[in-house]
Amino acid sequence: GSFEKGVDYIGDLNSFELSFTRHLAVSKRFGPYKLSLHSGSDKFSVYPIASRVAGSLVHLKTAGTSYLEALRAIAQLNPRLFREVVAFAVERYSSDRATYHVSAEISKMPSVAALPDDQLAGLLDDFHGREVLHVTFGSVLNHATFRKPFFATLRDGGEVYYGMLERHFNKHL
């Protein structure tokens, strides 16, 4: 199977369970060590398997998708900034994706220009839009044009942002 960034597991769940069970046997033999689901955030289809098979010996990192929830808040609180971030991410994707295992295609993303403000956050539910925005986070956050307004929007809209993070983490738990 495939663990791509910010989207659910792509592959056969029975094969995943068999492989995961074998990895657990190795971790118990030489540990016990936790099994880390690298790029494991939003892999909702494998969580029940991992929990049933390994219990507390599972580590899950969700930092990257926390950024996506920040973008979801920005889409609601500052649609103009969100549109600018998306345009920049589309420009950066071909180079930024080089260090990630992803299969999103810009041509398959919904057009942000065609979306009304109240539907912008839906781009984060689209496979292609989600991966493009996920892997370009470093370029966005390091760009002087975006950094200050990005964090100011989150600070000013803290209640909205924290609500989205809470919902996101609860889905994972």
CA distance 39 to 151: 24
Q: In 10 A of CB 40, how many CB atoms? A: 21
Encoded amino acid at 32, one letter? P
The predicted-structure confidence for 36-47, as pLDDT tens digits, reads as follows 887 778 889 999
> Can you give the pTM of this predicted structure?
0.86
CA distance 118 to 165: 19
Q: In 10 A of CB 8, how many CB atoms? A: 14
Short-list 98, 128, 131, CA closest to 4: 131
The predicted-structure confidence for 143-152, as pLDDT tens digits, reads as follows 999 999 999 9
The predicted-structure confidence for 85-102, as pLDDT tens digits, reads as follows 999 999 999 999 998 889
The predicted-structure confidence for 123-173, as pLDDT tens digits, reads as follows 999 999 999 999 999 999 999 999 999 999 999 999 999 999 999 888 888
Q: Is the pLDDT of residue 60 over 90?
A: no
pLDDT at 53: 96
CA distance 13 to 28: 22
Q: Give counts: helices (H), strands (E), the chain.
A: 8, 2
Helix, strand, coil shares of the chain, percent, nearest 5, are 70, 5, 25
